[in-house]
Amino acid sequence: MLNFVFQNETRIIFGKETEKEIGRETKKLAKRVLLHYGQGSIKRSGLYDTVVSSLKEHGVVFSELGGVMPNPRLSLVREGINLCRERKIEAILAVGGGSVIDSAKAIASGVQYDGDVWDFYCTLTEPENALPIGVILTIPAAGSESSAGSVITNEEGLLKRAFNSPLMRPKFAILNPELTYSLPAYQTACGVADMMAHVMERYFTTVRGVELTDRLCEATLRTTVSNAKKVFKNPRDYNARAELMWASTIAHNGLLNTGRIGDWASHQIEHEISGIYDIAHGAGLAIVFPAWMKYVVNNDVERFVQFSSRVWGNEIDPFNMEDYAHQGIESLKQFFSSIGLPTSLREAEIGEDRIEEMATKATQQGRIGNFVKLGKNEVEEILILAK
Amino acid sequence: MLNFVFQNETRIIFGKETEKEIGRETKKLAKRVLLHYGQGSIKRSGLYDTVVSSLKEHGVVFSELGGVMPNPRLSLVREGINLCRERKIEAILAVGGGSVIDSAKAIASGVQYDGDVWDFYCTLTEPENALPIGVILTIPAAGSESSAGSVITNEEGLLKRAFNSPLMRPKFAILNPELTYSLPAYQTACGVADMMAHVMERYFTTVRGVELTDRLCEATLRTTVSNAKKVFKNPRDYNARAELMWASTIAHNGLLNTGRIGDWASHQIEHEISGIYDIAHGAGLAIVFPAWMKYVVNNDVERFVQFSSRVWGNEIDPFNMEDYAHQGIESLKQFFSSIGLPTSLREAEIGEDRIEEMATKATQQGRIGNFVKLGKNEVEEILILAK
């Protein structure tokens, strides 16, 4: 087990009707806030009205900026930063899924920075301060509600880049599973793939002596799989929605990689796919992860055997351990298919013509991944396995 | 799953040689601190010298109060409070195990309170503020290093009482598994029982739809059992010591009871045993828990079946589910015995003569437990099962 520092101070307010707490919680942070959201589903669902009345009740003044799209855009972030400066905004409220929260984080960190916020995402510099952020989560997937990370797409060059800073970690996050009842099945499935990917990026490590976090990862994966199945049978199963929502946060709150080093190559490869083709991040991960696994399995068959056994409950065949390791990958792929996700580029109607370009972009800052270090050629081979 | 609020802001600094960070971390909290410790083992091990030189290096001025005993005493807490007031202490550093940390928490909450600190433990009132606390942990067991709770024994009447306040949660906790190499086997075993009890108190719930936290509990229990076995083979197995240490924190940091209600009757019954007989808390729990389980198993056989299967890996016998449920209890008892713990009052050389007195004291504020509500007669029956 490696040395580590772990701290996650986000206050999680979880359960039925908790969105009504937004005014009370926000008031502790600021009096003048930016209400940031997506493409209007919160207005159709009535959530917007609940938020507005709770803010008014607690005397919180707000400006609005909607319009965040999946794979959130830098241009809207810049607009948000200008708005915050003009209106002397003191905090950002993100009401939505990971894209809205990531956009809010970018705005929060850019407001008091003299340069261009994109500098952070190019790792040229780091923010020295940021506005506090509060969240109402509507899509369990990205884990951004209690993470320190943000992913933004720069329309110039379709560059999708991630950035982490503890200053961007939300002060509070309100999670009401009922708000996810109305999610379309495909979006639920993409969220499931995203949260599972967050766990698997951490699970596939070369660090030894990490049994506790291995088992915590396996617990989170098994729970996600079994409750995804329940949600697909009954989208209004409260407990199943609640398990998925809490699992999505735990998958990415930093606990599961204490004492170990994650991989993250699959995420970086996926960012190139969704950066160019604008498919959902979760769908891209369902395509990349099984291909990545097939490419790297022989580097640590034992770990894949453990994955096959403990996550998928396959019965061990000690005479064919390699086959058995592959069986775990097959189980994952079949699960993704069963919830309606593509598991190949072809199924997502993506051709082969830009594979080399994606491999080049994914590795332009050097080799990626930790479980196995991947250069351009290796990424290309993985994308070919994903065809 | 029930609604919940979860927040744990303790900064965990984990790994080899991390005790050298104490000066740097303390300086962020205060310039004038109380160094609180136990009965001198930190002086014999050299830890005291490391702490002192790190504090001096960072210009932190300190007063000292050693002498904390297992089942920490109210009289020393009062002495600490007076010392802090006299010396204008701004923060408490607890260097030791759960008893030292619990004593530090009591002092920290009492310093700025006009009345007697015991009021908090009698739930007469709550602190409005408390001095910040920093920790170097030397015994993985109580989980006090990132919990909001403290247990103190009042010598008058041998009353052992628990109290919780988020103000008492440590600001940072330094965990170096190497510091636990020198723990005597019996103390290691008591710690293992204590951390497992913290998980099991949460695990045995009547709340349904809590698969994620069930599985996280099972992950923590399995890891504790397998690494305890490794540590008993080789007390200097770094990874095994590290797994136990991190598991002890996770067992009690609040995560494992999100969305559910724990039981805690076994803890309350044990407090009466160690309050009177001054045995180690972990040893008392190893006696009480199996007896409590035998008493309550028929109230929810399915949960005990899950415990028997998922924690102990027993093969399910669908034709004899009650026996199978009992098999899990037997597995726990055998494990406790295998690491040298008593699993009956007799083995701890405790007679039957004060059973009624203990049952009376445990229930004097009303029925205890949540999995099953227990009155005086029921507690007496459990203690008789524990004979």
Q: What is the mean pLDDT of residues B154-172?
A: 92
Using the Cβ of A238 and the Cβ atoms of chain B, whether some distance falls under 8 Å is answered with yes
Q: What is the pLDDT of residue A160?
A: 83
Cβ pair A26, A134 in contact under 8 A: yes
- Which position has the token pair 């490794």? B230
Per-residue pLDDT for B243 more than 90?
Answer: yes
CB contact under 8 A, A16 and B5: no
This model's pTM is above 0.90: yes
Residue B293 CA to residue A190 CA, distance in Å, equals 42
Residue A101 CA to residue A380 CA, distance in Å, equals 31
Per DSSP bridges, beta strands B91-96 and A172-175 are: unpaired
Per-residue pLDDT for B327 more than 90?
Answer: yes
Closest CB to A209: pick one of B5, B9, B239.
B239
Q: What is the pLDDT of residue B159?
A: 85
Per-residue pLDDT for A32 more than 90?
Answer: yes
As annotated, the residues of chain A forming the CATH 1.20.1090.10 domain(s) are 183-385
Q: What is the pLDDT of residue B316?
A: 86
Distance from CA of B261 to the nearest CA of A (A): 14
pLDDT tens digit sequence for A148-194: 999 999 999 878 889 999 999 999 999 999 999 999 999 999 999 99
Cβ pair B370, B297 in contact under 8 A: no
Please state, for a pLDDT cut of 90, what percent of chain B lies above it. 94
Mean pLDDT of chain B: 96
Contacts with A148 from chain B: Cβ below 8 Å: none
CB contact under 8 A, A11 and B8: no
Per-residue pLDDT for A89 more than 90?
Answer: yes
CB contact under 8 A, A242 and B209: yes
CB contact under 8 A, B11 and A6: yes
Residue A62 CA to residue B54 CA, distance in Å, equals 47
CB contact under 8 A, B2 and A13: no
Q: What is the pLDDT of residue B384?
A: 98
Using the Cβ of A243 and the Cβ atoms of chain B, whether some distance falls under 8 Å is answered with yes
Q: Is A209 left (phi over 0), alpha (psi -120 to 50) or beta?
A: left
Per-residue pLDDT for B188 more than 90?
Answer: yes
Residue B186 CA to residue A146 CA, distance in Å, equals 39
**Nearest-5° Cα angle at A116, A110 to A121:** 75
- Which of A142, A135, A240 has the alpha carbon at shortest distance from A187? A142
Could you tell me the pLDDT band of residue B223, with boundaries at 50, 70 and 90? Answer: very high
Per-residue pLDDT for B158 more than 90?
Answer: no
Q: What is the mean pLDDT of residues B238-264?
A: 98
Q: Would you say the C-alpha torsion A106, A85, A29, A17 has a positive or negative sign?
A: negative
Residue A385 CA to residue A294 CA, distance in Å, equals 8
Per-residue pLDDT for B181 more than 90?
Answer: yes
**Nearest-5° Cα angle at A71, A68 to A77:** 50
Per-residue pLDDT for B157 more than 90?
Answer: no
ipTM value: 0.96
The DSSP secondary-structure symbol of A184 reads -
Q: What is the mean pLDDT of residues B242-258?
A: 98
Nearest residue on chain B to A9, judged by CA atoms?
B9
CATH class of B11-179: alpha beta
As annotated, the residues of chain B forming the CATH 3.40.50.1970 domain(s) are 11-179
**CB burial of residue A364 (10 Å; 0-12, 13-18, 19+):** exposed
Distance from CA of A360 to the nearest CA of B (A): 38
Could you tell me the pLDDT band of residue A278, with boundaries at 50, 70 and 90? Answer: confident
Using the Cβ of A242 and the Cβ atoms of chain B, whether some distance falls under 8 Å is answered with yes
Per-residue pLDDT for B71 more than 90?
Answer: no
Contacts with A226 from chain B: Cβ below 8 Å: 211
Residue A193 CA to residue A356 CA, distance in Å, equals 25
Per-residue pLDDT for A218 more than 90?
Answer: yes
Contacts with B238 from chain A: Cβ below 8 Å: 1, 209
Mean pLDDT of chain A: 96
- In this structure, the number of other CB atoms found within 10 A of the CB of residue A205 comes to 22
CATH number of A183-385: 1.20.1090.10
Per-residue pLDDT for B382 more than 90?
Answer: yes
CB contact under 8 A, A219 and B208: no
- Show the beta-strand stretches assigned E in chain B: 4-14, 32-37, 61-65, 91-96, 133-137, 149-154, 159-164, 172-175
DSSP string, A96-130: ESHHHHHHHHHHHHHTT-SS-THHHHTTS---S--
Could you tell me the pLDDT band of residue B70, with boundaries at 50, 70 and 90? Answer: confident
CB contact under 8 A, A4 and B15: yes
- Which position has the token pair 């004593």? B103
Using the Cβ of B1 and the Cβ atoms of chain A, whether some distance falls under 8 Å is answered with yes
Could you tell me the pLDDT band of residue A243, with boundaries at 50, 70 and 90? Answer: very high
Contacts with A16 from chain B: Cβ below 8 Å: 3
Residue A318 CA to residue A323 CA, distance in Å, equals 10
